[in-house]
Amino acid sequence: MAAARRPLLVRILASTPRAGWLALGVFALATLVVLPALHLFTPAGSPFHVSDLVITVGGKIMCYAVVAVALDLVWGYAGILSLGHGLFFALGGYAFGMYLMRSIGHEGVYQSDLPDFMVFLDWKKYPWFWTGTDHFLWALALVLGVPALLAFVFGLFAFSSRVRGVYLSIITQALTYAAMLLFFRNETGFGGNNGFTDFKRVLGFPITAPATRAVLFMLSAALLGATLVFGRYLVCSRVGRVLAAIRDAEPRVRFLGYDPLWYKLFIWTLSATLCAAAGALYVPQVGIINPSEMSPGNSIEIAIWVAFGGRGTLVGPVLGASVVNLAKSWFTVAFPEFWPFFLGLLFVLATLLLPRGVVGLASRILRKPT
């Protein structure tokens, strides 16, 4: 009873063990202090200088890691395999991309109040859903609210109908594919197949300036750290234990008097919101968002990150997202035609030989008596 009366913040902080805080401290020191300082305050010719490429790729991978942890919350702890999480990631990116497009002002090719793609398509005014997107706070509300609402509505119908397993996975994949086809159409007002690009500034700051890049990098690191801490608290809480029970034996949970619908709906909506926040930070760092981010292949790749790193571990998906995307960066330059085969092989090997992922294998080795 005493533990239940403690403030929420204290309970969140206490849920992470000392070793976890030590690792997070090292991570925070590197991503919030050392790397940004070496990027901003060392000359380009110095051996200690951290280049724009490292900052951009690092920020991008940390955004991917947040998405991987978000999927781990629903797949690893609630047993819900989504093959459509790329949709929520892309929606968050599009919502913030609308704000970035409005921030271009008259600096586009056509020097119009409208974005270049709207001028090219002979649009005369903004669509109704662009209203207010020139305000940062409203754009932030769209980033979090639209994907959360879509996830809630979809989850309410799917979970109340007791759709589970592979059937739910197929439906999520169909949902993201349908959204991709919709966003490819020019008349939807989202730039068609080109999407949004050529951003100039964010909150009035030049988007390509080293200081802006460093701040976006630090925000990505902060989001990842906060996601891990809150995720740890959640899975160790009563809600997390109920979710684990739903994953392992949902009929028994229902027999004991719990309604799995609201637990699954909560973690599903939270996961979608985390993906959207990651997408919003991803777009200004890479400089583009288009419908290809919604492709089913991208959502499957997210599942591979989690499977390779280790489901139900939180830190495993971070490792999986980092390793797979670093490998992708190298493969797509050195051997681009072999990357899909390597990715498929990685997923097969992880499924057959590493059912608990790399983190699970490492834990088993460390616990093995000598």
Helix (H, G, I), strand (E, B) or coil at 197: strand
Tokens representing 145 are 């609210």
> In terms of residues, how long is the chain?
370
Is residue 280 a contact partner of residue 93, using CB atoms and an 8 Å limit? Answer: yes
Is residue 221 a contact partner of residue 27, using CB atoms and an 8 Å limit? Answer: yes
Is residue 298 a contact partner of residue 86, using CB atoms and an 8 Å limit? Answer: yes
Query: What does the pLDDT read at residue 370?
Result: 43
Is residue 324 a contact partner of residue 305, using CB atoms and an 8 Å limit? Answer: yes
Query: What does the pLDDT read at residue 359?
Result: 87
Is residue 332 a contact partner of residue 324, using CB atoms and an 8 Å limit? Answer: no
Helix (H, G, I), strand (E, B) or coil at 201: strand
Residue 13 included in any domain: no
| φ and ψ at residue 160, rounded to 5 degrees | -70, -25
Cα–Cα distance measured from residue 89 to residue 298, given in angstroms and rounded to the nearest whole number: 10
Residue 72 included in any domain: yes
200's CB contacts (< 8 A; 6+ apart) are 103, 104, 105, 107, 206, 207
pLDDT in tens, 4-62: 567 878 888 888 889 899 999 999 999 999 999 999 999 988 899 999 999 999 999 99
Residue 186 DSSP code: G
Query: What does the pLDDT read at residue 132?
Result: 93
Model pTM?
A: 0.94
Is residue 282 a contact partner of residue 95, using CB atoms and an 8 Å limit? Answer: no
Instruction: For residue 111, give its domain range.
Output: 54-294
Tokens representing 334 are 């050195």
CB atoms within 10 A of CB 190: 24
Residue 233 included in any domain: yes
Query: What does the pLDDT read at residue 1?
Result: 44
Residue 115 DSSP code: -
Residue 309 included in any domain: no
Residue type present at position 205? F
| φ and ψ at residue 269, rounded to 5 degrees | -70, -40
Cα–Cα distance measured from residue 282 to residue 292, given in angstroms and rounded to the nearest whole number: 14
Residue 108 included in any domain: yes
Residue 84 included in any domain: yes
Nearest Cα residue to 285 out of 360, 226, 342, 215: 215
Domains of the chain: total: 1
Cα–Cα distance measured from residue 164 to residue 161, given in angstroms and rounded to the nearest whole number: 9
CA atoms within 13 A on the CB side of 280: 25
pLDDT in tens, the chain (370 residues): 444 567 878 888 888 889 899 999 999 999 999 999 999 999 988 899 999 999 999 999 999 999 999 999 999 999 999 999 999 999 999 999 999 999 998 888 888 889 999 998 888 899 999 999 999 999 999 999 999 999 999 999 999 999 888 999 999 999 999 999 999 999 899 999 999 999 999 999 999 999 999 999 999 999 999 999 999 999 999 999 999 999 999 899 999 889 999 999 999 999 999 999 999 999 999 999 999 999 999 999 999 999 999 999 999 999 999 999 999 888 888 888 888 888 888 888 888 888 888 888 887 787 765 4
Is residue 118 a contact partner of residue 101, using CB atoms and an 8 Å limit? Answer: no
242's CB contacts (< 8 A; 6+ apart) are 253, 258, 263
Cα–Cα distance measured from residue 55 to residue 225, given in angstroms and rounded to the nearest whole number: 17
Is residue 78 a contact partner of residue 84, using CB atoms and an 8 Å limit? Answer: no
**Which residues are registered as beta bridge partners of 288?**
197
Residue 228 included in any domain: yes
Residue 18 included in any domain: no
Cα–Cα distance measured from residue 117 to residue 288, given in angstroms and rounded to the nearest whole number: 14
